[in-house]
Amino acid sequence: MNRVVMITGSTRGIGFATAAEFLKKGDRIVIFCRHEGHGIEAERQLASVGPSENILRLVGDVRKEKDIKRMIGQGLKRFGRIDILINNAGIAAYKSIEVTTDKEWNNIIDTNLKGTFLFIREIIPVMEKQGNGLIINISSGLGVEGKANFSAYCASKFGVIGLTRVAADEIQNRGLKVYAVLPGAVDTQLISDIGIKIDPSDLLAPEYLARRIFEAAQGRRKTGTLFEVYS
CA distances to 2, 124, 156 from 221, in Å: 21, 19, 24
What length does the chain have? 231
Tell me whether residue 42 is exposed, middle or buried, using C-beta atoms within 10 angstroms of its C-beta: 0 to 12, 13 to 18, 19 or more: buried
- At residue 65, the 3 state secondary structure works out as helix
Tell me whether residue 199 is exposed, middle or buried, using C-beta atoms within 10 angstroms of its C-beta: 0 to 12, 13 to 18, 19 or more: exposed
The residues facing 176 across adjacent strands are 133
Beta-carbon count within 10 A of 116 CB: 29
Q: How far is CA 179 from the centre of its chain?
A: 11
* Dihedral sign for Cα atoms in the order 107, 148, 135, 31: positive
How far apart are alpha carbons 53 and 32 in whole angstroms?
A: 16
Active site residues: 153
Contact 42, 10 (CB under 8 A): yes
